[in-house]
Every structure is written in C-alpha cells, then in structure tokens.
C-alpha cells in the first residue's frame, strides 16, 4: 500500500495508481486508469486523466488539466494555469475522442505560468518553456522557448541556467559545473 496524501476535497476514480509520497491538494480529480509516480505534487484545482501516465518527482501547480493524450516523464515542472490540448481541430458537433494527438513532456521539462501547449508536440529533455508561451512545434532538448508562436531564444542546463557556448561549442552550468556541447544545432550533456 502506497503512502500518499489526498486532500479530502479531491476525488480519485477507479483503477488509479498513486506512488509513494505523492500529494494531491484541494479540489482536484484524478480520472480512471491514470498512473502517477512517486514524490509528485498536484496543487489546487487539477484534473488528470483518464489514461494518463505521470512519472516520478513531477510538480504540478494550481489550475491544470492534464488530458488523455498527454504523457509526462520524470522531474517535470508544470507552472500555474498551464493549458494542454488533445484535439487539434475541435468541433462541438463532431466526436473526435479517437483522434487525440499525443503531447510528450520528456524528463526534466519546465513549463512557465500560463503557457499553452498545442497537441501533437514533444518537449525535449530539460526544455524550458517561458511564461505565457504558446508551443506550436517540437522543442529540442535543453532549448528555451518563449512567445506566441514559440521561438527559441537559447539553451539551458539541467539546473535551469542559460548556457553560453564558447568558440569550441562548449558551455558550463554556473550552478553545477556540468559541461554541455552544442553540435549540429543540438545540445548534449557530456
């Protein structure tokens, strides 16, 4: 039996798995067949599922719906009031439940407050989405994107610091000292 916390104002539907030390705060709803990992937290007014998979150590702030079609890997941060989508061309009079487009948030992604992620896109490992951004295409690993539509303004380290590459295409994280290489418009941790 897992040791997790669910606030009494929240609802958990059938066949949901919740990991160790995960906390689900006020007025939230976890729908059926959802799997949530260890050490996660969900703020007030969150809806997750059905059929959604959330990794370990995922932090979800207030007012967020994570719909079917969104997959969240480990160590992802989702800022307050971030919006996800799962139908690219919704019409109220056409049922498109079999046409959900996938959104994948890879390990270590951070998404700033009030960003919107248009479905069908992948946010690469440790990518950083600025506050209020509208993501309309894939975001590379370690990229920082801002604006509507999103555009890349640079690169960040795992710890979330901007990377300044030297003439040899190498950069150091000022916090951890980890080294990164820029090669063929992609960043790799060494």
Ligand X SMILES: CC(C)(COP(=O)(O)OP(=O)(O)OC[C@H]1O[C@@H](n2cnc3c(N)ncnc32)[C@H](O)[C@@H]1OP(=O)(O)O)[C@@H](O)C(=O)NCCC(=O)NCCS
* Residues engaged in binding ligand X (CB under 6 A): 79, 112-113, 128, 130-133, 144, 146-147, 153, 162
Smallest separation, CB 79 to ligand X (Å):
3
The closest of 30, 41, 108 to 72, measured between CA atoms, is 108
Nearer to ligand X, 37 or 112 (CB): 112
Smallest separation, CB 109 to ligand X (Å):
13
* Token couple for 50: 């059905």
Nearer to ligand X, 90 or 147 (CB): 147
The closest of 51, 95, 96 to 72, measured between CA atoms, is 51
Nearer to ligand X, 6 or 118 (CB): 118
Smallest separation, CB 125 to ligand X (Å):
17
Nearer to ligand X, 9 or 148 (CB): 148
* C-alpha span between 47 and 89 (Å, rounded): 22
Smallest separation, CB 143 to ligand X (Å):
11
Smallest separation, CB 147 to ligand X (Å):
5
Nearer to ligand X, 65 or 81 (CB): 81
CA end-to-end span of the chain: 39
Q: Which residues of 39-61 are buried (b: 16+ CB within 10 A; e: fewer)?
A: bbbbbbbbbbbebbbbbbbbebb
The closest of 125, 105, 12 to 60, measured between CA atoms, is 105
């Amino acid at each position: 039996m897992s040791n997790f916390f669910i606030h009494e104002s929240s609802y958990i539907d059938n066949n949901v798995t919740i990991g160790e030390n995960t906390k689900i705060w006020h007025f939230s709803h976890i729908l059926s067949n959802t799997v949530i990992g260890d050490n996660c937290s969900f703020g007030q007014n969150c809806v997750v599922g059905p059929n959604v998979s959330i990794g370990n150590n995922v932090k979800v702030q207030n007012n967020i719906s994570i719909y079917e079609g969104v997959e969240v890997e480990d160590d992802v941060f989702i800022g307050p009031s971030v919006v996800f989508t799962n139908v690219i061309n919704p019409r109220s009079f056409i049922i498109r439940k079999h046409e959900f487009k996938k959104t994948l948030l890879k390990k270590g992604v951070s998404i700033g407050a009030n960003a919107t992620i248009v479905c069908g896109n992948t946010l690469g490992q440790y990518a950083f989405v600025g506050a209020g951004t509208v993501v309309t295409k894939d975001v590379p690993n370690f990229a920082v994107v801002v604006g509507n539509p999103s555009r890349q303004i640079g690169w960040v380290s795992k710890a979330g610091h901007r990377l300044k590459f030297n003439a040899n295409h190498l950069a150091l994280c000022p916090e951890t000292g980890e080294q990164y290489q820029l090669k063929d418009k992609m960043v790799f941790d060494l």
